Amino acid sequence: MKSMTGYAKVQSTLSDRKVNIEIKTLNSKQLDLIVKIPTAYRAHELDIRAMLGRLERGKVEFFMSDENNNAAAASFNQELLVARFKALYPVADSLAAIDLDSRPALFNTLAAMNDIWNSADNSEISDADWAVLQADIERAIDLTDQFRKHEGDVLEKDFHIHVDLIEQMLQQIPPYETERIDTAKERLRRWLADPAVREVDPNRFEQELIYYLEKLDITEEKVRLQKHIDYFRQTMANEPSCGKKLGFVAQEMGREINTTGSKANHVEIQRLVVGMKDELEKIKEQLGNVL
């Protein structure tokens, strides 16, 4: 079993820079990719998205940033800055009488524009560097998957606790079930022994008694609930990506528990049913995090 919660951070060393790779994953009904990468790697965005598809499901946030090691990596486009400043200077000059900081503010604003700087970051990386980066992205995905597996193990242990409690309460029902039927039979006998009751057709009475006891019978519900419990455990143990299937099984468990409660007609069985519902709700709360 795996959780949809995961995290990994890897640093990749290329020929002229270091690249930081970070992956965060959260729960979602489908695969929801958010990819944020520098301009130099845009040509490989589809490749990156294809690799992230290995994570199958969840909200996946992929971040990549580089630390350029080339001292001459960035150059200043002086001509572009001067041209823009000259174009806007008359406006700033007319405002100078009102705001003495308008011209320095104009310069700072222009200097902060991305296209004023010619950076090597905007050039595509070489095939050799991409091969290295690709391997490190795969490693980050592997680490994220390992994180998910660890979180999934924690969830699985928690699910076993709640499923075991449901099974224990299910096994406590039979003594009360026998007591409930015996009580019903005794109630009918006392009613028939009342002198005020007219003579009853034995055949019709037997039919009514069978019908009444069948309405109280919860044998099928108990058997089905036990099978669902067993299947829930098998699915956890054998299928890594089982969140949706476990959700369906939990729904079936809830259906059998509810039917048992509607047929219970016994305070102790009702108490056990409430306990089973409580444990099942705890399972459902966490199923949304299971891959």
Alpha-carbon torsion, ordered 101, 106, 112, 117, to 10 deg:
-130
The phi and psi torsions of 149 (rounded to 5 degrees) equal -65, -40
> Is the backbone of residue 57 left (phi > 0), alpha (psi -120 to 50) or beta?
beta
More confidently predicted of 194 and 98? 194
Cβ proximity of 163 and 282 under 8 Å: no
Q: How far is CA 102 from CA 14, 57, 105, 180, in A?
A: 43, 51, 5, 89
Task: Record the pTM.
Answer: 0.73
Predicted local confidence at residue 123, as pLDDT: 63
More confidently predicted of 211 and 158? 158
- The mean predicted confidence, pLDDT, of the chain is 85
pLDDT digits (tens, 9 = 90+) for 169-226: 999 998 888 777 777 777 777 766 666 666 666 676 666 666 666 777 888 999 999 9
Beta bridge partners of residue 290, listed in sequence order: 3
Task: State the Cα–Cα distance between residues 1 and 237, nearest whole angstrom.
Answer: 7
Closest C-alpha among 236, 252, 222, 230 to residue 286: 236
Task: State the Cα–Cα distance between residues 102 and 93, nearest whole angstrom.
Answer: 8
Residue 157, pLDDT > 60, answer yes
- How many helices (DSSP H) and strands (DSSP E) are in the chain? 9, 6
Predicted local confidence at residue 103, as pLDDT: 62
Residue 134, pLDDT > 80, answer yes
pLDDT classification of 93: cutoffs 50, 70, 90: low
Task: State the Cα–Cα distance between residues 60 and 25, nearest whole angstrom.
Answer: 4
Q: Where are the beta strands (DSSP E) in the chain?
A: 6-13, 17-26, 31-36, 58-68, 74-76, 117-119
Predicted local confidence at residue 72, as pLDDT: 44
pLDDT classification of 17: cutoffs 50, 70, 90: confident
Residues whose CB falls within 8 Å of the CB of residue 272, separated by 6 or more in sequence, listed in order: 169, 170, 172, 173, 176
How many CA atoms, within 13 angstroms, populate the side-chain half-sphere of residue 13? 0
Predicted local confidence at residue 71, as pLDDT: 45
pLDDT classification of 83: cutoffs 50, 70, 90: confident
Residues whose CB falls within 8 Å of the CB of residue 136, separated by 6 or more in sequence, listed in order: 10, 11, 12, 19, 21
> Is the backbone of residue 271 left (phi > 0), alpha (psi -120 to 50) or beta?
alpha
Closest C-alpha among 254, 256, 245 to residue 279: 254
pLDDT digits (tens, 9 = 90+) for 226-257: 999 999 999 999 988 899 999 999 999 999 99
